[in-house]
Structure 1
Amino acid sequence: MRSGHKDYYAILGVSRDATPEEIKQAYRRLVKEWHPDLHPENRQAAEERFKEIQEAYEVLSDPQKRRQYDLYGTAEPTLTAPSWATADPFADLFQMVDEFFGVREPHRRRTTRTERGEDVEVVLTLTLEEAFQGGEKELTVEIWDTCPDCAGTGVLGGYRRCLECHGSGRIAYTRQMQGVFFRSITTCPTCQGTGEVPGQVCAECRGVGRVPTQRKVKLQVPPGVEDGTVFRLPGQGNAGKAGGPAGDLYVTVQITPHPIFRREGVHLHIDLPLTFPQLALGDVVTVPTLDGHAEVTVPPGTQPGTVLKVPRKGFISMKSGRRGDLFVHVQVTVPTELTEEQRKLLRQLAKTMGVNPKGAEPSWWERIKEHFRKA
């Protein structure tokens, strides 16, 4: 279809004195609106409309083509037959013979191989508290997205008829040997037999059809998520090639170590340092939890290494919704500095227990001070 049969300004919805920037903005808006993938119920009509938009932009975005279009109503140069065609006096005769015997050399339609976009893998780092609570998290992902200028085609203005083969996709050569004419038909090297060539390579993506970009992605993390959990977000990966479907985004959860708690499945573990009197006499102590605190009863005579359980103070199970337990590991703390009164009381306790540690005997200097106090 010749360009003189169409009003390119009307197709893009701009005035005849529109600036290049206005034309570009109108083109970007229309290719997004009429991309065939967005109209699966009426794809054929969308493709025709999409080609019209690309054709109009190819002409109006090129100053020379636009000037010719404004003057003559067409942007196509006058086509002349190639040298091989004019030099072949038997071309029409061969064509008539081909048609008589039903021989055809139809050119192949230009086909673009669509490819699915690559999958993208990212890591979401969470604290233990964030994993416990869950909630919505936002990630910034580096991906390849569809080029906004060419809508993923890699070219501007679509494809035009190949001037080398006049759109037939083939080139015929005729030569004479010993009075006999021989005709050979080969695939057009310019268009590779498709009969079409790209109008203009997109400068934004350099013909790739995709551009690197950053995308904000929101992920709903369930409470109690485990370390190493992988979430799949369909269609959030790299954009497909030549209109192919996008890949998927895989998000792997990584939980940072906690300074106090240790996690094992849905259960939590914590160390609780206690003094000897607390272990011997018993006590009620307060321990931290991920959502507040809890009281733990230490029975009299509790030994170091004893594990006390606090029910339903662990993690929430993603499968059952039940909550795990908190396990308190009892440890004994030994003071490194004692007052004189504390030493005295410990010596008395040692004697009552029938224990006489060497460190319990008073030093020579302590005996001297005790002697002068009694004098």
Structure 2
Amino acid sequence: MGVDYYNILQVDKKAKDEDIKKAYRKLAMKWHPDKNPNDKKYAEAKFKEVSEAYEVLSDPQKRAIYDQYGEEGLKGQVPPPGSEGTPEGATFFQNGGTTTFRFNPRRADDIFAEFFGFSSPFERMGGGGGGGGGGRRTRMGGSMFQSGGPFGDDIFSSFGEVPVSQTPRKSSPVETTVPCSLEELYRGATKKMKISREIADISGKTMPVEEILTIDIKPGWKKGTKITFPEKGNEQPNMVPADLVFIIDEKPHSVFTRDGNDLITNEKISLVEALTGYTVNLKTLDGRSLSIPINNVIHPSYEEVVPGEGMPMQKDPTKKGNLRIKFNIKFPSRLTSEQKAGIKRLFGS
């Protein structure tokens, strides 16, 4: 039956690339020879098993061959095409089976160094330097590992299951503003954002792709609201992709300005209208017509407040702020006889 790589990595046969990487990260650290000084030979054997399993299952071509033919197929022991047990259309055969795919496992420490970005955690901590140091060294597969450094024989235990130094760095968030009209923020809207980014395949090569992201704008959202799409930035080797952050911006409106959950509008009126009465006619952000009669004398600091005609509240859109109407009174440079008569009638003198 050959070696069961899935069993070695403790993953399901339908495991995704990320599951395989997580499994290797955990088991490579568990069986690293420097973490098992009391049983180094056994640890080295397990370490090599885990590395070989990761090399096969993380490579789409090797994994496909292994899934069809097992370890024997990878290592050139597959029966020729057409013989019993050989599926038709095996893509790695050429010219009637004269050439087969042959897999030669790489050294375990090379895979470890490629995955984690360093061949020995002690080098990263400054304990693997040159000549005369006091630490003990053991050789495994051609690379040098040092124990007995400033953190003791088991540096791994100083940081738990995974050393801090191996954690992939994450790029800074990429921020983009999303201009929205006051009507969109009042009623809610859906925005489609087309992005272009680089994604990496299993070998680390990158390729450009385009993607459409959907932003559902909720009624009552304010300027500065952030919508985050985790890890939708460019992919780079040994880096966690950046988050894409869209920041809501508010376009200027011809009638209203926003103050928290309130809407403010300014009405220009004449002195006569201020003194004799005025009706405000407005179209709301959702298209309704409002007619608001004002029977009080309107002075320069007067403000008419209409409850419930402001912006929806973000936490509870069924509730709304207020509509606040302010007035800009135009005073005439002189009064006509008609205006004077109207003021006399108003004040009875």
Q: So what's the TM-score if we normalise by structure 1?
A: 0.49
Matched residues, number: 223
Match of 1:89 in 2: none
Q: Residues 247 and 152 of structure 1: is their aligned pair in 2 closer, same or farther, counting only changes over 3 Å?
A: farther
Give identity over the alignment, percent.
19
Which of 247, 255, 278 is 1:252 aligned to? 247
Match of 2:325 in 1: 328
Deviations 1:236-295 (A, max 9, x none): 2333535x6433211111111112211111011101122333322223332232122322
Match of 2:142 in 1: 107
SS in 2 for 1:294: strand
Deviations 1:166-208 (A, max 9, x none): xxxxxxxxxxxxxxxxxxxxxxxxxxxxxxxxxxxxxxxxxxx
CA contact (8 A) 2:271 2:332 kept: no
Tell me how far apart the structure 2 counterparts of residues 306 and 254 of structure 1 sit (CA, whole Å). Answer: 31
The residue type paired with residue 308 of structure 2 is: R
SS in 2 for 1:226: coil
CA contact (8 A) 1:315 1:323 kept: yes
Deviations 1:68-118 (A, max 9, x none): 964842578xxxxxxxxxxxxxxxxxxxxxxxxxx8551359xx9955455
CA contact (8 A) 1:116 1:239 kept: no
CA contact (8 A) 1:120 1:143 kept: no
Q: Residues 281 and 211 of structure 1: is their aligned pair in 2 closer, same or farther, counting only changes over 3 Å?
A: same
Which of 123, 140, 153 is 2:194 aligned to? 140
List alignment gaps of at least 5 residues for structure 1: 1-32, 58-65, 77-102, 155-208, 355-375
Tell me how far apart the structure 2 counterparts of residues 353 and 293 of structure 1 sit (CA, whole Å). Answer: 30
Tell me whether 1:224 sits opposite 2:245 in the alignment.
no
Flag the structure with larger Rg.
Answer: 1
Match of 1:73 in 2: 99
Tell me how far apart the structure 1 counterparts of residues 193 and 326 of structure 2 sit (CA, whole Å). Answer: 37
Q: CA deviation at 1:308?
A: 0.3
CA contact (8 A) 1:118 1:240 kept: no
Q: CA deviation at 1:221?
A: 1.5
Tell me whether 1:283 sits opposite 2:278 in the alignment.
yes
Match of 1:363 in 2: none
Which of 11, 18, 34 is 1:37 aligned to? 18
Deviations 1:116-136 (A, max 9, x none): 455322111111111112232
Q: CA deviation at 1:219?
A: 1.4
Tell me how far apart the structure 2 counterparts of residues 274 and 114 of structure 1 sit (CA, whole Å). Answer: 64
Q: CA deviation at 1:349?
A: 4.8
Q: Residues 353 and 114 of structure 1: is their aligned pair in 2 closer, same or farther, counting only changes over 3 Å?
A: closer
CA contact (8 A) 1:312 1:324 kept: yes
Q: Residues 233 and 51 of structure 1: is their aligned pair in 2 closer, same or farther, counting only changes over 3 Å?
A: closer
Deviations 1:123-165 (A, max 9, x none): 111111111122321112233223xxxx2423xxxxxxxxxxx
Tell me how far apart the structure 2 counterparts of residues 265 and 104 of structure 1 sit (CA, whole Å). Answer: 67
Tell me whether 1:345 sits opposite 2:338 in the alignment.
yes
Tell me how far apart the structure 1 counterparts of residues 322 and 315 of structure 2 sit (CA, whole Å). Answer: 16
Q: What is the CA RMSD across the aligned residues, in angstroms? A: 4.2
List alignment gaps of at least 5 residues for structure 2: 1-13, 25-49, 66-90, 103-137, 145-165
Tell me how far apart the structure 2 counterparts of residues 127 and 297 of structure 1 sit (CA, whole Å). Answer: 28
Q: Residues 127 and 72 of structure 1: is their aligned pair in 2 closer, same or farther, counting only changes over 3 Å?
A: same
SS in 2 for 1:284: strand
CA contact (8 A) 2:272 2:339 kept: no
Match of 2:303 in 1: 307
User: What does residue range 1-375 of structure 1 map to in structure 2 within 5 Å?
Assistant: 36-37=17-18, 48-51=56-59, 53=61, 70=95, 72-73=98-99, 105-107=140-142, 116=170, 119-146=173-200, 151-154=201-204, 209-241=205-237, 245-291=240-286, 292-321=288-317, 322-333=319-330, 343-346=336-339, 348-349=341-342
Structure number with higher relative contact order (C-alpha < 8 Å, ≥ 6 residues apart): 1
Q: CA deviation at 1:227?
A: 0.8
SS in 1 for 2:59: helix
The residue type paired with residue 295 of structure 1 is: S
Q: Residues 279 and 117 of structure 1: is their aligned pair in 2 closer, same or farther, counting only changes over 3 Å?
A: closer
Tell me how far apart the structure 1 counterparts of residues 140 and 331 of structure 2 sit (CA, whole Å). Answer: 97
SS in 1 for 2:290: strand
CA contact (8 A) 1:115 1:240 kept: no
CA contact (8 A) 1:120 1:250 kept: yes
Tell me how far apart the structure 1 counterparts of residues 250 and 64 of structure 2 sit (CA, whole Å). Answer: 53
Tell me how far apart the structure 2 counterparts of residues 333 and 303 of structure 1 sit (CA, whole Å). Answer: 11
Q: Residues 227 and 122 of structure 1: is their aligned pair in 2 closer, same or farther, counting only changes over 3 Å?
A: same
Tell me how far apart the structure 1 counterparts of residues 289 and 280 of structure 2 sit (CA, whole Å). Answer: 10
Tell me how far apart the structure 1 counterparts of residues 245 and 92 of structure 2 sit (CA, whole Å). Answer: 50
